[in-house]
């Protein structure tokens, strides 16, 4: 049983609104190995501006892909992690890399 192309297109548009930019995908990848503070993400991602990083984190939190929690040590530092839903995107990112390595 195949899915009509029209339904795939609608689905793709919705998901691409969430995931369809470079920094969002880089951010998800950066959080894939361990929880990180804002400053760690800034350093790892390199050229991302604090404003862009904040916007992407808020967008991913709103979609329940990223969770922010205050560290218990000082209750000021915030640590970001992928939710189970966010981790579900990692195989998709892997397939994008496989495609890029093969065809681009």
β-strand pairing of 78-82 with 66-70: antiparallel
pLDDT value at 102 more than 80 = yes
- How far apart CA 19 and CA 26 sit, in angstroms, is 10
> Range of 22's domain?
5-103
- H helices within the chain, ranges in order? 5-19, 22-30, 38-45, 50-62, 84-87, 90-103
The pLDDT, as a whole number, for residue 96 is: 87
Domain count, the chain: 1
15-48: per-residue pLDDT in tens?
Answer: 666 667 889 999 999 999 999 999 999 999 999 9
CATH number, domain of 99, equals 1.10.10.10
pLDDT digits (tens, 9 = 90+) for 49-90: 999 999 999 999 999 999 999 877 776 789 999 999 999 999
Other CB atoms within 10 A of residue 48 CB? 19
If DSSP codes are grouped into helix, strand and coil, which group holds residue 4?
coil
State the pTM of this model.
0.80
pLDDT of 7 reads 61
């Amino acid at each position: 049983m195949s899915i009509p192309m029209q339904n795939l297109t609608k689905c793709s548009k919705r998901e691409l609104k969430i995931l369809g930019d470079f920094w969002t995908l880089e951010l998800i990848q950066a959080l894939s190995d361990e929880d990180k503070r804002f400053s760690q993400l800034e350093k790892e991602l390199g050229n991302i501006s604090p404003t862009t990083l904040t916007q992407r984190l808020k967008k991913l939190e709103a979609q329940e892909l990223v969770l922010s929690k205050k560290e218990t040590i000082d209750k000021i530092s915030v640590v970001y992690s992928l939710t189970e839903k966010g981790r579900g995107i990692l195989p998709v990112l892997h397939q994008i890399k496989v495609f890029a390595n093969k065809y681009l």
